[in-house]
Amino acid sequence: MLRISQIRISINDDISKVKTLVLKKLRLEASDLLEFHIYKESIDARHHGKIDFIYTVDIAIKNESKLLKKRIKNVSEAPDLSYKMPKTGSTPLQHRPVVIGFGPAGMFSALLLAQKGYRPIVLERGGQVDDRVKSIAQFWENGKLDPHSNVQFGEGGAGTFSDGKLTSRVRDLRGRKVLEEFVIAGAPEDILYHAHPHVGTDLLRDIVKNIRRQIISLGGEVFFDTQVTSFETQDGKLIALKLQDGTTIKTHHAILAIGHSARDTFGELYKSGVKISAKPFAIGVRVEHPQRLINVAQYKEFAGHPRLGAAEYRLTHKASNGRGVYTFCMCPGGLVVAAASEEGRLVTNGMSEHARAEENANSGLLVQVFPEDFPSTHPLAGVEFQRQLEQKAFELGGSNYHAPAQLVGDFIKDQPSTHLGTVHPSYGLGVKPTDLTQLFPTYVTDAMREALLAFDKKIHGFAMNDAVMTGVESRSSSPVRINRDENNFQSLSVQGIYPSGEGAGFAGGIVSAAIDGLKCAESLIQNYAPSEK
């Protein structure tokens, strides 16, 4: 394959022009092309009154070496980015491997194990996605929470009810495998080359089902509504898992992909002697603006152009008190949703469908918190910090899953909100105008005020008076790290447990969690052969 970069077309050109320009550049006929793939697409909006798309493409022709000898600018041999399956170890497993949790980390570790013939057993505490949709819809309609099947727990993990972003700052070739598997499972092929790929919650629901079906077709088993309640160990090694119905599964190898909200499981792991540490995370609100405002701020006169879609942003600020403030999980044309997993505690998150066609844009507006901010030095003190915050948010909203909210203008002026303005909150259960300074520590509110004004200089209107801040966003990442040996990916204290993904503190987002799941599965595969049982 050959790689051709810096192919530039105008925003008003059809994408088919890319192939025309490549043929012209290389002096080829269309019949000379054996293969043609877009590898990367990016947007150049740096120049006033002009937006271009820039492409990198990979092609195959009959005599590639001859063309390379011409040393044409921006033409080179394409690197091999194909995923290399790990080599199988020689020691047979005594029992089939178990994957605990079926979010991105668990899903991709199970998929790889199945592809290599290990017939994994997957245990997911929540429901399969169709049942999960029903229980979540019920919660969003009448505030009746199912603690076992909600935005945090169930098939696909928390990412299933999000914007479905497939970007990652982790530079790892495994990321390509993740995207390719998504396409095989039904995602649009353009996720392979878009600079900021996403699939949306509506498409994700079918994608995760298709990945599950592939795992089962390869000999794996997936059990829903099945929670691991304890871990049996002997001489520092895992020997079995106890389930909520009292049954026991014998296994010496379990990939622990439990997600960042499995607080009861964190407690059981700690009781079982698994080494856990408190880690920093971030807390804040969902801030909501009219999507049109964001489009104009980012794309100027090109706002609304069909090639651009709903505009995104990613903003960071270092506050004068030393706290990092940043936007997180930005959802263009999306909704703010109720994301609690424990009764009497309120959590918000953001979600978009593939079309990103809702009226508002929303994003987490988060401030860093550190273990020294937590109520104690216990490894699970970050969990308690989250719980206290979520309980306070529940009470501030009226103790009925209505969310506490405040207008940005009032927040900056340090005055309570008594009514809403022109921005209609999308949080379906309803919001209660209030004073969010009653919710957060002063160091958080001070940092957020400062950041709002700084972000307004980057995106004009970000600090508009009627923008809505809805609390509380507390599940941006795990409050713990389940410590592991980075050579074999196993727990430092219990052999056979492979902490993985967001819940274990080693990822942040769908793709990075999936990559981490692949790493853990690879380690197991390289050391062991499939069980003969």
Task: Return averaged pLDDT per consecutive 10 residues of the chain, 533 residues in all.
Answer: 96 95 94 94 88 96 92 94 94 97 97 98 97 96 94 94 84 91 96 92 96 98 97 96 96 97 96 96 98 95 93 97 97 97 97 96 98 97 98 98 98 97 97 98 98 97 98 96 97 98 94 96 97 82
Listed in sequence order, the residues at least 6 apart from 482 whose beta carbon sits closer than 8 Å to its beta carbon are 256, 266, 269, 274, 275, 276, 491, 499, 503, 504, 505
What does the pLDDT read at residue 436?
98
394 secondary structure, DSSP code: H
pLDDT tens digits, 155-188:
999 999 998 889 876 778 899 999 999 999 999 9
Nearest partner of 206 among 258, 272, 133, 307, judged by Cα: 133
What does the pLDDT read at residue 279?
97
pLDDT tens digits, 522-533:
999 999 999 987
33 secondary structure, DSSP code: -
Q: Are 3 and 76 in contact (CB under 8 A)?
A: yes
pLDDT tens digits, 359-391:
999 999 999 999 999 999 999 999 999 999 999
List, in order of start, the domains of the chain with CATH numbers: 2-77 (3.30.70.2700), 91-277+486-529 (3.50.50.60), 280-473 (no CATH)
- Cα–Cα distance, 287 to 407 (Å, whole number): 9
What does the pLDDT read at residue 533?
73
E strands, 61-190, are: 75-77, 91-92, 98-100, 121-123
- Cα–Cα distance, 263 to 277 (Å, whole number): 14
Q: What distance separates the 2 farthest-apart alpha carbons in the chain?
A: 73
Beta-bridge partner residues of 350: 336
Listed in sequence order, the residues at least 6 apart from 395 whose beta carbon sits closer than 8 Å to its beta carbon are none
How many residues are present in the chain? Answer: 533
What does the pLDDT read at residue 81?
87
Nearest partner of 205 among 121, 124, 134, judged by Cα: 134
pTM for the full predicted model:
0.95
- Cα–Cα distance, 43 to 300 (Å, whole number): 14
What mean pLDDT is reported for the chain? 96
pLDDT tens digits, 464-473:
999 999 999 9
Listed in sequence order, the residues at least 6 apart from 439 whose beta carbon sits closer than 8 Å to its beta carbon are 389, 392, 393, 396, 404, 471, 472
pLDDT tens digits, 241-282:
999 999 999 999 999 999 999 999 999 999 999 999 999 999
What does the pLDDT read at residue 311?
95
